Amino acid sequence: MDKQRQIKLLQDLIKIETIDDHEKQVVDYLEKLFVSYGERVRFTRVPYQEDRQSVVISIGPQNGSFTLGFSGHMDVVNLGDRSAWKDDPFSGKLYDNDSKMYGRGTTDMKSGLAGMIGTFLTLLDENVVLKGELRLLATVGEETGMWGSKKLTEQGYVNDLGVLVIGEDTTNLNVVYASNGDIDYTITSYGKVAISSQAGAGINALDNMLDFIQLANEKLRHLPRIHETLGPVVHNVTMISGGDQVNSIPGKITARGNIRINPLYSVAEIQQILENVVVQVNQMPQHKFELQYDYLGEAVDGDLQGEYVTTAKSMLTDILGHPVKIVGEPGATDASNFVKSPTAPTMIVVGPVNDSVHQIDEYVDVDEYLAAAEFYERFAKKYLS
């Protein structure tokens, strides 16, 4: 695709505000982009709620020898202090001699999504004869619960894919072949309110919560299976709230925790360990806890020497002019849901990134964005044309 058209495509996506909502507006934009290609494009909206829709776009024969998937999410994270941004965070402006593009979502991850959309347009414009199907899964709500990928997986859009490339941001355009899973949970400690001056009159729910945190850290931070690139399971309690006032014993404390699960463990195994911790603290005198799961996402493993992984590495090395690495991703992506497909494909993650991701004044390096777009195009042509 022409460089300027590829840049404008990303700018158009950045200008659509999709902070935890409004992905349907991106879908509307994409429909207008593809409508002129008529029946050569299959365009399926997958509603989630109100102004939120995922979309599945596909080209090429459905009965071909191979189906290649691309995926990216359309939502972006919140702005933080909007007044701290040096310019309109939804401008898509170019600066530093047009070497950088500015705006929320430029790295995470509308650049990956735009690069993939550019591949579809290129294949259509060049009338490339495809031997199989190219399918884009553009999802809602990745940043807040991965709702779109969950629904698309449940509806079978992943089942027949041979390989799935996710355009999430990866350092230096390295090839991610494996990624951690994720458990988000809420734990509530129930005590008894009393005036703080009367020792023993109440049951301190916060003291009890500290007992839970200590035991959970002991059980989850020292698990024996260490992944070759992603390391150990990681557990942190990251939020605590409760209590009424400083001179009252707190009768209820709520905490939220996060567990990053390496591919050597299943979600079910880690759940069992966590639930055993809750059973153990509930057996302590005057301790009462309730556990609730907020998100369950499986880890994704791969083959360091697999064909698609090594092909991606070779292509990116050629495009960039220097070697790239095959790495693991400690964070979770939509792959955590896609891997739950009964016939889960090989999954790799490649996309532009820098240290501005999720930060104020987010930007993407234009050359890196264009390199990622070139990679998606080359990869699609290799396996489908």
Which of 344, 265, 335 shows the shortest CA–CA distance to 300?
A: 335
Domains within the chain, CATH numbers bracketed: 3-179+299-384 (3.40.630.10), 181-297 (3.30.70.360)
215 three-state secondary structure: helix
In a structure prediction context, what are the per-residue pLDDT tens digits for the chain, which is 385 residues long?
Answer: 899 999 999 999 999 999 999 999 999 999 999 999 999 999 999 999 999 999 999 999 999 889 999 999 999 999 999 999 999 999 999 999 999 999 999 999 999 999 999 999 999 999 999 999 999 999 999 998 899 999 999 999 999 999 999 999 999 999 999 999 999 999 999 999 999 998 688 999 999 999 999 999 999 999 999 999 999 999 999 999 999 999 999 999 999 999 999 999 999 999 999 999 999 999 999 999 999 999 999 999 999 999 999 999 999 999 999 999 999 998 889 999 999 999 999 999 999 999 999 999 999 999 999 999 999 999 999 999 9
Dist. CA 331–CA 379, nearest whole Å: 24
Distance between CA atoms of 294 and 109, rounded to whole angstroms?
Answer: 23
3-state secondary structure (DSSP) of residue 375: helix
pTM for this structure?
0.90
Joined together, the tokens standing for residue 348 give 């790799």
